[in-house]
Amino acid sequence: MKAVEFIRTSLDNSANMALALLDDMKDQPLTCPTPKGGNHPLWVEGQMLQLMLGEPNPLAHWKDLFGTGSEPSADASRYPSFDEVRKAFKERRAETIRLLDTLSDADLDKPSKDCPPQFKKLVGTYGQCFFVAIANTMTHCGQVADARRAAGRKVLAM
């Protein structure tokens, strides 16, 4: 398997796992995963394409809600609807896959065009950005799984 194929499979699988967990929490999207807070199910996904390509973030209008340094809130009035956030997640993931489909394995070593210097070791190349996109989604899967348990739900068979 080539690296690009591995990344595509990982992006698809992580999105499918996240969406299965999220869809099960549609009726309780602001459930905290721990008694001391944490990232609730509505608070998922990142913006790796913008770092790679140096393009504007299409979700910049949600920066204060979901961006770096933001804190999840239990105030539903602050957030867009669950369906709107889910749709944005799917659109961003499809955009990521479309970009990946234009790349070769060698392209994964291209430097990110808008990477802050302090993050070069983490997301300094296209390949690293794809890795973080996958890992970020899987991290949020764990948080949503914990929120499901906090809501009294049984383990979801995937």
Distances (CA, A) of 70 to 11, 73, 121, 128: 24, 9, 23, 23
Q: What is the pLDDT of residue 47?
A: 65
Token duo for residue 137: 């989604």
- Rounded CA Rg of the chain: 16
Domains along the sequence of the chain with CATH? 3-150 (1.20.120.450)
**What is d(CA 30, CA 97) in angstroms, rounded to the nearest whole number?**
28
Q: Report the distance separating Cα 28 and Cα 26, nearest Å.
A: 6
Q: 10 Å Cβ neighbour count for 150?
A: 16
> Which pLDDT score is estimated for 45?
60
Tokens 């929120």 found at: 147
User: What is the structure's pLDDT at 68?
Assistant: 79
Global pTM exceeds 0.75: yes
29-81 tens-digit pLDDT: 999 999 988 889 987 666 677 878 888 888 888 888 888 788 888 899 999 99
| Residue bearing tokens 């392209």 | 107
